[in-house]
Structure 1
């Protein structure tokens, strides 16, 4: 089961004509958008990203906080408003990720949108796809067996392990397991023949 604290953190975003998925993380009482570097490659120290809600794109001032080192396709942005309610916490950690577990991609491939909107803010419900943790390449990189599509870039990166943890409201939260690479697509040799 994918819990509300994860679903409400996933957004359809656009910058410079590039559409992608982004998700929010809270650090030191501040909320940030994490997305694919290639989707915001032209964003400078300050600028704007568009966030999709109520069927239209809305511009939001954004500041580039930084890119992940090396060739990792991850960027972090600061926006001028809170997108995810503060009560819906999510801890970024790789603790507890196990070989062979199911993981999920959440995002907006090909701009697909369903009919359901989240809360009064009107953000669309993301599409969900499943994969398996297939290999631990390092402490930070997990290889997955699953299919995703253009538009998932920048979404809540798998692996996600749904570990109930107590929250302030007495319910439970899912822990986001591992902030790994957003995704990489490899064509099989047979498709190239």
Structure 2
């Protein structure tokens, strides 16, 4: 049976409500609304910078789009009886929960300890909300594209960000869960504008 690829008004209302709850939680966590620099940028491309994860898009945006690909695929496998809108809401809950966890002291400290994000302070609310929106974009792209195209896009995103900043979704998960010193050294050895701004 085909999964109806249409989001009902009810699904949209729930998705908006979940997003509002997510934003309220981030405010309750006392996360900064925007970058401490006082600016809002469409793109910030320097990883080793206090402005990383503070603006609308950065080198980790492709990872969040891939989250959407993954959540859509899991929805097709596990939630076939659910309307697409409710599967999207489930994806929003998971992505929102990760963003909240990612901005908790335990994960911020973990990033500093085992990844190349030495001075990581967590995300601004603006960045977290757009991370959620990028996931939603990935979810809808996956709902419209053939699965082989979606898989190819994910692999290209991973390869490109690994080349540009020596990091991507796969390496991020690896280094958070089971750090490999050789990987950390390889990442730390990366120099050039995109990593250091020099």
**TM-score, scaled to structure 1:** 0.25
Higher helix share: 2
- Return the index of the structure with the highest Cα Rg: 2
TM-score by length of 2: 0.24
